[in-house]
Structure 1
Amino acid sequence: MLVDRLGRVPVAAGAAVALLGAGVTAAVAPADSLPVLVLALVLLGLGWNLGLVSGTALVVDSTTPAQRSRVQGNLDVLVALSGASAGVMSGVVVATTSYPALGLGSGLLVVCLVPVLLWWRLERPRTRSR
């Protein structure tokens, strides 16, 4: 409902903000502060879900009905593999550096989403008119 009401790109931007907040919160959380770590995980879940739903809606908007199921299936597999790989890599990052480094690194990765959203916002109206 949020994606339909607010739009795909604004919800994706909200996902980026929530994920950045999760990374920063995790990075600055004292190791013995359960409430702050829970907040970081809630922001992570919120950002993940906002991103997944808005991304799926963007894929639906960008594909023809004939392509949609194949593209969506491929993306679902890619998301699952990415999530599993990220889970393994997060353990490696924490083992070799620290939990705050994982949080800051994750937050920096989210910042990479901003140019993609800006590009989408600027390019999309032109491609619709073709």
Structure 2
Amino acid sequence: MNHYTCPKNLPTTKENNQLIVPAVGTTLSEQFECMYHLVARDGEILYAAFENLKIGPDAQCNSDYGFLAMGTTEEDALKSINQICAQPTRSLGVNNESEIYVYFVGKKLQQDDGFKLNYTSGTNVSLCNWSIYYQ
């Protein structure tokens, strides 16, 4: 099985898009770091929701294992104190943005660690049944 590598370009369309980490047929190395950059189409905003998010042995964030962090800039994502390790339940406050950065770092990743990030771009606020959430 191949090791997962970070995608360079994540297209955003009106259709639902999905980032699956690790990708089918790949595994995450125990030590892993990646910055994902999602950009809405011109004049539109992003909507996103996590699915099947698990990093580490339990629902409590432990930076010894790894975490996700998000921001509206790369620096915000790198410095965020809102770390995500399990299925999110509260808003991250990055909806209605045209760009979102997702920082994923793993220090002791386990075989079943990973996530799905569903995302789309649009102008219609009614699309906002999509939300980015954190624990």
User: What TM-score does the superposition give when structure 1 sets the normalisation length?
Assistant: 0.31
Task: Pick the structure with more strand per residue.
Answer: 2
Structure ID, larger Rg: 1
More helix by share: 1
Could you tell me the TM-score, scaled by structure 2's length? 0.30
